């Protein structure tokens, strides 16, 4: 019966020692980084032993272990990560070890999705390269693919045998798309639109012998940007905007008392309103970045390309939070102008009958003005939450955890 054991790595691992090696059992160790990689790994780990038996080798019993290690999400180079994973594998007598990082891995002009070393029995998955949708399913498929690479090596015959047995046994899991263990480089619509290429490496100067890469520059950048924004979890920073919303709404509500905004909204067309909204959002994003020191300097950076990528993802993450903030504020002002501004007073100022667009334009203008005039002077409630939604800060914090440990 497949067994699953969860372990959360918080200290120096204690020696397990004395474990008897069972030739009919294979142990797979998962070492994810904290936060999103650990959350995704915990979602899929319960089903992995059965899937490994059905998709990789049904003649064996499979056991899966989990250890969360901050180093996996802090090391800049994949070789540094693999050195740590090899220590786990040897110390705990695992057969195979797979680390799951939320860092982008960029090699030879392409973003790496996964790598394997059959010699060492280790593999690495870059979670952001999966994109933004169906992460648990893609992670399960990738783990199966990589364990197949480690277990069967270059033997196509063994994989074909297991694929036929999987089809005949009718044990194809409903959460997976394929009937065999070829999901990472599948032939489904998503893979046709965003292809993944399997590359066999020569081994000279490389720690890995098989690499999976995004097959085009556009494909790789779209995957990475979407996946990194997803890993930043932009929805977690919205609670920090509560104080900003209160200040902005109070500022805008005070401005609605005077007819100046009424007249301006009547003379502004939608292009000017859109432009003002854009200026307000950009000002908000720039203020948050400067106030909380979220921008990383490219000067003296070991990898300028990754720093530029981190800064782009920071802007996109904050943009998602600011758009949500602006939408909430706009809804509040729409309600306020409909309830508190009588139609006859608005018509007297505008000189014509007030329509729904007039009320919407007034709320829209008030939202933008309030964002610029009020929100920029307020402080976010939880600075730690905002800074934690950036890759550079999370790496620094994880490095501190590793050093303290």
Please report the pLDDT score of residue 29 as a whole number: 93
Q: Where are the alpha helices (DSSP H) in 177-303?
A: 189-193, 217-232, 242-256, 260-267, 270-291
> % helix / strand / coil in the chain, to the nearest 5?
60, 10, 30
How do residues 207-230 score in pLDDT, each as one tens digit?
677 888 877 666 677 878 888 888
H or E segment at 116? strand 110-117
Helix (H) / strand (E) element for 138: namely helix 135-152
Distance CA 324, CA 108 (A): 37
pLDDT band for position 176 (cuts 50, 70, 90): low
Dump pLDDT digits (tens) for 353-393. 777 878 888 899 999 988 887 666 656 666 677 777 776 66
pLDDT at 347: 77
State the pLDDT confidence band at 69, using cuts at 50, 70 and 90.
confident
Walk me through the domains of the chain, giving residue ranges and CATH numbers.
3-223 (3.40.390), 234-388 (no CATH)
Q: Per-residue pLDDT tens for 252-298?
A: 888 887 788 878 888 888 889 999 999 999 988 888 888 888 888 87
Q: In the prediction, which pLDDT does 8 show?
A: 47
pTM of the shown model: 0.76
Regarding predicted confidence, which is higher, 102 or 305? 102
Sign of the C-alpha dihedral computed for residues 340, 268, 272 and 287 taken in this order: negative
> Please, what is the Cα angle at 214 between 212 and 218, to 5 degrees?
170
Task: For 136-175, write each residue's pLDDT tens digit.
Answer: 888 988 898 889 888 877 556 666 666 666 665 555 555 5
pLDDT (tens digit, 9 = 90+) per residue, 109-119? 778 888 888 88
At 76, the pLDDT band (50, 70, 90 cuts) reads: low
- pLDDT at position 261 is 81
């Amino acid at each position: 019966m497949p067994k699953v054991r969860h372990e959360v790595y918080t200290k120096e691992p204690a020696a397990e020692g004395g474990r008897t090696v069972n030739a009919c059992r294979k142990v797979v160790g998962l070492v994810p980084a904290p936060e999103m990689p650990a959350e995704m790994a915990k979602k899929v780990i319960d089903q992995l032993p059965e899937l490994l038996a059905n998709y990789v080798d049904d003649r064996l019993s499979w056991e899966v272990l989990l250890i969360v290690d901050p180093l996996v999400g802090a090391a800049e180079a994949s070789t540094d990560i693999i050195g740590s994973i090899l220590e786990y594998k040897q110390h705990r007598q695992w057969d195979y070890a797979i680390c799951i990082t939320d860092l982008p891995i960029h090699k030879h002009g392409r973003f790496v999705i996964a790598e394997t070393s059959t010699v060492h029995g280790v593999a690495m998955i870059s979670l952001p390269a999966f994109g933004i949708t169906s992460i648990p399913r893609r992670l399960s498929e990738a783990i199966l693919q990589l364990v197949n690479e480690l277990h069967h090596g270059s033997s196509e015959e063994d994989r074909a045998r297991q694929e036929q047995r999987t089809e005949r046994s009718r044990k194809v899991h409903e959460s997976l798309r394929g009937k065999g263990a070829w999901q990472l480089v599948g032939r489904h619509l998503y893979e046709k639109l965003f292809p993944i290429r399997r590359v066999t490496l020569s081994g000279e100067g490389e720690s890995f012998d098989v690499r999976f890469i995004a097959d085009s520059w556009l494909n790789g950048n779209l995957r990475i940007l979407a996946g990194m924004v997803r890993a930043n979890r932009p929805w977690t920073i919205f609670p920090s905007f509560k104080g900003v919303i209160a200040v902005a709404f109070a500022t805008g509500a005070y401005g609605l008392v005077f007819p100046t905004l009424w007249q301006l909204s009547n003379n502004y067309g939608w292009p000017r309103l859109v432009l003002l909204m854009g200026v307000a959002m950009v000002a908000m994003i720039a203020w948050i970045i400067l106030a909380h020191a979220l921008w990383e300097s490219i000067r003296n950076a070991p990898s300028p390309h990754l720093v530029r990528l981190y800064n782009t993802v920071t802007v996109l993450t904050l943009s998602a939070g600011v758009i949500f903030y602006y939408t909430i504020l706009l809804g509040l002002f729409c309600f306020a102008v409909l309830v508190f501004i009588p139609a006859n007073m608005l018509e007297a100022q505008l000189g014509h009958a007030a329509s729904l667009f007039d009320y919407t334009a007034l709320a829209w203008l008030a939202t933008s003005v309030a964002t610029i005039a009020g929100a920029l002077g307020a402080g976010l409630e939880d600075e730690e939450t905002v800074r934690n939604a950036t890759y550079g800060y999370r790496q620094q914090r994880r490095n501190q955890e590793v050093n303290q440990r």
